[in-house]
Structure 1
Amino acid sequence: MADIHNPIVLQRADPYVIRFDGIYYFTGSYPSFDRIALRKADRLDDLQTAEETVIWRKHETGPMSHLIWAPELHRIDDKWYIYFGAAPNDGQSDDTFNHRIFCLENEAEDPTTGNWIERGKVDTGMDTFSLDATSFEFDGSQYLVWGQQDLRIDGHSNLYIARMANPWTLATEPVMLAKPEFDWECIRFKVCEGPAVIMHAGRIYITYSASGTGPEYAMGMLTASLDSNLLDASSWSKSPQPVFTTNAEAHMYGPGHNSFTKAEDGVADVMVYHVRNYTKIEGDPLNEPNRHACAKTISWSESGPVFGKPEAMTRWVPTGRDVLPPDGSH
């Protein structure tokens, strides 16, 4: 399999890659947090130079007018859907942002074309900070997994799962799968967010990210048998240690918010994630644009996925104050 040259896309946090009919489609948080854009390419290596198509922009006012975060592109029932987080303002309530989850739909074969329809807010049954929705299909049912705050639980976000009636409507009550409780999940912020789903050898795995968005950011993992009731929290086990963390020797700091796709051979599994290549961040790490989308092939053992360590970047990347323009060009 061909080597992956990282970053696959510069200055795109929360990267999501899906391979459909041999084409890679990419999206992620735009540095100005004001739009959703897609790229497509035949190879992961070509995504950085691929044309970027803006498919949606934030509203001037209202619940979808600020801080457009972490879009994900999904193919469900022969249509395209994008889940994303948006807020009515840039402020915070009780030290937490005001995001909710929203959904877009497109019937075109190519998601960079056609008409995107707003399906509105995904009502999770809880009117609190929520974000980072992902979806998967298993055994004829569609599921949603996302991060959300429960004001009765100490922390900023927990992970929840529900079965769906349609791509923007839940059919069941949310079930909490994880909350920040280990020390490594509670550095600067108590967070479980950015879930991603992969299945292998009769088991399903949900990776997620925890702690603040600086070098402390790291990935954890939940595991369940595909023979179990996925809506029963007791079906899931949680790794007590992170599964993917900073690799200071390679200057790769704070890896997280990953997605999974297939290699060009259609067989090997590839993890896409964001990471920085330095630690000195001025101001809020959330507003610093140099989280880059990287990818690496993962392997499998009897106990599950083997992620290894973030590998050193091989493409030109900005460091320190060397900041790219918002469109990621250089």
Structure 2
Amino acid sequence: MRKLTRFNSLLALCLTTCALVFWAGDLHADTRTLTWKNPIIDKYLADPCVYFHNGFYYMMATGKAPDGRGIQIYKSPDLQEWTFVRGAVKPGGPKNWNWKHFWAPEVIEIDDKFYLYYTASPEDSPNNRGNRVGVAVANDIEGPYTDLGVVIPHGSIDGHPFRDRDGQMYMYYTIEQYNGKGLTAGNIYMEKMTSPTSVDGNPVKIFDQYGWQEGPIVQNIDGTYVMTFSEGAWTDDTYKVRYATAPSPLGPYKEGENIVLQSNEVVKGPGHHFLFKDEGGNDWIAYHGWDTDYTARYPRIDPIVIGKERVYVNGPSFTTQRYEIRP
């Protein structure tokens, strides 16, 4: 009887071990190793916004497309190989708000439609003073997008629509300060959105810690609102990504302890970023950065850790990187 009991115990142990091996194998099968090297596309594509939808990654970026439309759209199955899709928005006439200077795209899905927010300006726009944040819409993320007009009418750039967990939406953006001779500062403002195409008309300044801050992105991390943004001059190596935190989307925002991204020996002026999740739900940052000769702003990606008290990126990377995507 003792031998039989021992045999049963060994059999149970074997079955348990086998089950664990199969379980571990299943986990391994679900893990995909991503290999990439920045820049992910070897051409001038600034202000990248990456969005995962229906098994593909889509990137919207600043730059006129070959078809003459503003904002370029690219598509990738794996964040490595990218294919040009189309230009997103057809420019309006010279007096229209969106005649030129298309930049800073950001896409969001609302009620099965895709809303593309972007900055543009009319023909008569000295010193970029005519910049506005507007929006276009499409039934498919690949477009084409139809312009719906201006959302923020007053000297605004870099619109970011943030949808909180309670469904309330907010528009964060930068207002450019002008002293009669040129642009002197950029401060981050916020307004509640009343629809995908309108705000409540009550702008609130939420951050002006530095001379120039732009490109805000907000996330709700367990009740702490983490805002990442770019600071410095986009034309040189002072441009960088910082963060601030607040107990409410309205603020007050407190400056974070560390710089998220800054220039290194290969990548200069990394910034104007977007935060996105891969197919496994892991956090990434998409951003642009100059080469050392300042010939172009190239699109780049790196994993990011976003916490209540610290935001960290091991970058900007410029060598071959590997990352295990786990669901």
Same fold (TM over 0.5): yes
Task: Give the alignment of 1:283-302 within 5 angstroms.
Answer: 290-300=296-306
CA distance in 2 between counterparts of 1:151 and 1:215 reads: 23
More helix by share: 2
Normalising to structure 1: TM-score of the pair? 0.77
The one of 33, 40, 49 aligned to 1:16 = 49
2:171 is the alignment partner of 1:144: yes
Task: Give the alignment of 1:177-192 within 5 angstroms.
Answer: 177-181=206-210, 190-192=211-213
CA contact (8 A) 1:43 1:264 kept: no
Q: Which moved more, 1:56-65 or 1:268-277?
A: 56-65
Q: Which moved more, 1:190-199 or 1:159-168?
A: 190-199
CA distance in 2 between counterparts of 1:198 and 1:21 reads: 23
CA contact (8 A) 1:161 1:176 kept: yes
Q: Deviations over 1:223-264 (max 9, x none)?
A: 123xx3x22x32x2123653321112xx11110000011123
The one of 221, 224, 227 aligned to 1:206 = 227
Task: Give the alignment of 1:97-246 within 5 angstroms.
Answer: 97-106=129-138, 108=139, 110-113=140-143, 116-123=145-152, 127=154, 129-138=155-164, 139-150=166-177, 155-171=184-200, 173-181=202-210, 190-213=211-234, 214-225=236-247, 228=248, 230-231=249-250, 233-234=251-252, 236-239=253-256, 242-246=259-263
Could you tell me which residue of structure 2 aligns to residue 262 of structure 1? Answer: 277
Could you tell me which residue of structure 1 aligns to residue 122 of structure 2? Answer: 88
| Greater radius of gyration (CA) | 2
Q: 1:208 to 1:56 in 2, by over 3 A?
A: same
CA contact (8 A) 1:147 1:157 kept: yes
Could you tell me which residue of structure 2 aligns to residue 252 of structure 1? Answer: 267
Letter in 1 for 2:142: T
CA contact (8 A) 1:197 1:259 kept: no
More strand by share: 2
CA contact (8 A) 1:257 1:273 kept: yes
CA distance in 2 between counterparts of 1:120 and 1:204 reads: 29
Letter in 1 for 2:122: P
Q: Deviations over 1:64-98 (max 9, x none)?
A: 111111121111222101111111237534xx543
Matched residues, number: 280
Computed over aligned residues only, the root mean square deviation of the Cα atoms, in angstroms, reads 2.5
Could you tell me which residue of structure 2 aligns to residue 187 of structure 1? Answer: none
Runs of 4+ aligned structure 1 residues displaced above 6 Å come to none
Letter in 2 for 1:173: N
CA distance in 2 between counterparts of 1:34 and 1:21 reads: 25
CA displacement at 1:150 relative to structure 2: 4.6
The one of 75, 94, 97 aligned to 1:61 = 94
Could you tell me which residue of structure 2 aligns to residue 28 of structure 1? Answer: 61
CA distance in 1 between counterparts of 2:120 and 2:227 reads: 23
Show structure 1 runs of 5+ residues with no match. 182-189, 282-287, 316-330
Normalising to structure 2: TM-score of the pair? 0.78
Q: 1:177 to 1:155 in 2, by over 3 A?
A: farther
Per the alignment, in what secondary structure is the counterpart of residue 3 of structure 1?
strand
